[in-house]
Amino acid sequence: MMLKTLLSGVAMTLAVTAHAAPTLVRHADLDLSTARQLADATLQHCTGALSVLDRGGNTLVALRPETVGPHNLLASQRKAYTALSTKTPTRLFAERARNNPEAANLNSIPELLLLGGGVPLFAGSELVGALGVAGAGGAEQDEACAVQAAQALGLTITR
């Protein structure tokens, strides 16, 4: 009888342990220190508003130089969000959307901005966040500035 009780107790302990400790996926993520480094690198390459988002779309850093119009800060955030959610640089995404009639309504989603200047940020093949730049002189300049800042920190904009 004692052996039966002991075995029953061991079985219950194993069952509880198996359910109590699931294996969770680990992800790389941008931290505030890295986001600040990205902001500094961005401002070394251009004068524009910028937003750095973590992998969950949360703003880590948002800056607007006093010489850049106030609307550009929101634009930089929306560019970063668009790049993050699509895992695609926004200039390329906008071009693809213009060439696809089924994508015509993407402009009606308030969080998206189909203009160049937003880039996803990858560490190796893992999406870790996004950087958006606006007000640096046009979509091409905004994107070039974001790409240079990402490269300066060893991040890529594609898998």
Quote the pLDDT of residue 104: 78
The answer to whether the beta carbons of residues 130 and 120 sit under 8 Å apart is: yes
Q: Please state at what angle helix 71-86 crosses helix 90-98, rounded to 10 degrees.
A: 80
The answer to whether the beta carbons of residues 151 and 144 sit under 8 Å apart is: no
3-class DSSP state of 131: strand
Q: Which of 2-6, 25-29, 30-34, 59-63 has the weakest average pLDDT?
A: 2-6
pLDDT in tens, 65-110: 999 999 999 999 999 999 999 999 999 999 999 999 988 788 889 8
**Over residues 12-39, mean pLDDT:** 82
Beta bridge partners of 51: 62, 132
CA angle 9/12/18 to nearest 5° reads 140
Residue spans per domain, the chain: 33-152
Q: Give the pLDDT band (50/70/90) at residue 141.
A: very high
Indicate the class that CATH gives domain 33-152.
Answer: alpha beta
